[in-house]
Amino acid sequence: MTSAFTSLPEPRYPDPSDAPALRWGVIAPGGIAADFTDALHKHTRQRVVAAGSRTAERAAAFAAAHGVDRSYGSYEQLVSDADVDVVYVASPHTQHTEHALLAIAAGKHVLIEKPMAVTAADAQLIADAARAAGVFAMEAMWTRYLPQTDIVRQLLDDGAFGDVRVVTADFGGSARFDPASRLFDPALAGGALLDLGVYVVSWASFALGSPASVIATGSLAPTGVDEQVALILSSATGAQALLSTGLRAGTPSLATISGSTGRVETDSPFWSASGVRFYDGDGRLAAHWVDPYGRPHREGMSYEAAALARYVTEGLTDSPLQPLDEAIATLATLDEARRQVGVADLGVGSSEGR
């Protein structure tokens, strides 16, 4: 049997510095905003030119630490900055809808940290507003824009795996139970599914599309948020995705796609730059691609920013690699999984930075 994987396609956008330069504003200068800003400045020609916080002191400290020109003590001031082309919404997900709508109303393009919102209905509000305003909006599912994902995408598009039947992914972390932390606080929409599970459900969507049925089982933390969840997502053709996520035990963070003529298995972790192994239909290892580019962990967020810059420059208002409708469908799956495991309240809260 001739393997389709002996000569792998090349990643189409391996260098994020090739993307056009945009000027970014950051809402909520916490840990993920810091990593995003540093990744942009290290690996792209784009620049974060403004940071906004609820306090002028926090915004100024972030700006000084990360080479940002201007800082503002309110989000309204940030989105009103005429020199900002696009706003990165880095606040906790309970605030994504409010902050994305604020930026869109100011005519700014938006990149919204995952999950795009707490519920599919809220994500739809963002999508509707962006489309009405004619601005670009995208969920920051950075895994979709990694070079390794582009190799797998090209092979999927070419039918190299044949009839895809089984998809797997896991992402679990070990977190000490703290009822006041964002992970376990229902008022902040805590729980495994919205924090880590969005990655595994998005991987299944990447391989199979939106599911025709969702089966979820799991356990709740004492605060009522989902603590550990296993999912079976079935497609209209009968293909299945077997997924798991949780907050109390670290798991390998591996993902696979298996079809009638071959399969792919990622290295760990699948959600950031690592590597991929390709097996032919007889189960023989045909190729092992290891990321050579030196942008590990959250430095890989530079790829999603580069993709957004290309799309905006091309006049697009939606990502061709993960359209808004797909991000909304992923949240609909998470909505249903949370309902099935017994999460009682989606929650609304207020906290800044992650």
Shared domain check, 116 and 197: no
**Within 13 Å, how many C-alpha atoms sit on residue 101's CB side?**
13
**Do the domain assignments include residue 301?**
no
Total domains in the fold of the chain: 2
Shared domain check, 160 and 212: yes
Shared domain check, 156 and 128: no
**Do the domain assignments include residue 306?**
no
Shared domain check, 164 and 109: no
Q: Which residues form the domain of 65?
A: 16-143
Shared domain check, 256 and 164: yes
Q: Is 175 helix (H, G, I), strand (E, B) or coil?
A: coil
Residue with tokens 């393997």: 3
Shared domain check, 327 and 190: yes
**Do the domain assignments include residue 298?**
no
Last residue of a domain, one of 143, 176, 200: 143
Tell if the pTM clears 0.85, that is, is over it.
yes
Instruction: Judge contact between 63 and 319, C-beta under 8 A.
Output: no
Q: What is the pLDDT of residues 173-192, one digit of tens each?
A: 999 999 999 999 999 999 99
Last residue of a domain, one of 127, 143, 159: 143
Distance CA 57, CA 219 (A): 41
42 is known as an active-site residue: no
**Do the domain assignments include residue 170?**
yes
List the CATH number of the domain containing 192. 3.30.360.10
Shared domain check, 133 and 237: no
Instruction: Judge contact between 329 and 336, C-beta under 8 A.
Output: no
**Do the domain assignments include residue 88?**
yes
Shared domain check, 132 and 77: yes
Per annotation, catalytic residue among 114, 144, 263, 295: 114
**Do the domain assignments include residue 347?**
no
Six-digit token string for 142: 């950075």
**Do the domain assignments include residue 10?**
no
Shared domain check, 164 and 110: no
**Do the domain assignments include residue 77?**
yes
Q: What is the pLDDT of residues 139-159, one digit of tens each?
A: 999 999 999 999 999 999 999
Shared domain check, 86 and 20: yes
Shared domain check, 119 and 197: no
List the CATH number of the domain containing 21. 3.40.50.720
Shared domain check, 220 and 91: no
Residue with tokens 């998809």: 167
Last residue of a domain, one of 143, 168, 199: 143
| Dihedral sign (CA 168, 204, 18, 38) | negative
Tens-binned pLDDT, residue by residue, of the chain (354 aa): 457 788 899 999 999 999 999 999 999 999 999 999 999 999 999 999 999 999 999 999 999 999 999 999 999 999 999 999 999 999 999 999 999 999 999 999 999 999 999 999 999 999 999 999 999 999 999 999 999 999 999 999 999 999 999 999 999 999 999 999 999 999 999 999 999 999 999 999 999 999 999 999 999 999 999 999 999 999 999 999 999 999 999 999 999 999 999 999 999 999 999 999 999 999 999 999 999 999 999 999 999 999 999 999 999 999 999 999 999 999 999 999 999 999 987 544 433 444
The phi and psi torsions of 141 (rounded to 5 degrees) equal -85, 80
**Angle formed by the axes of helices 198-208 and 147-157, nearest 10°:** 30
Could you tell me which residues are beta bridge partners of residue 230? Answer: 217, 244
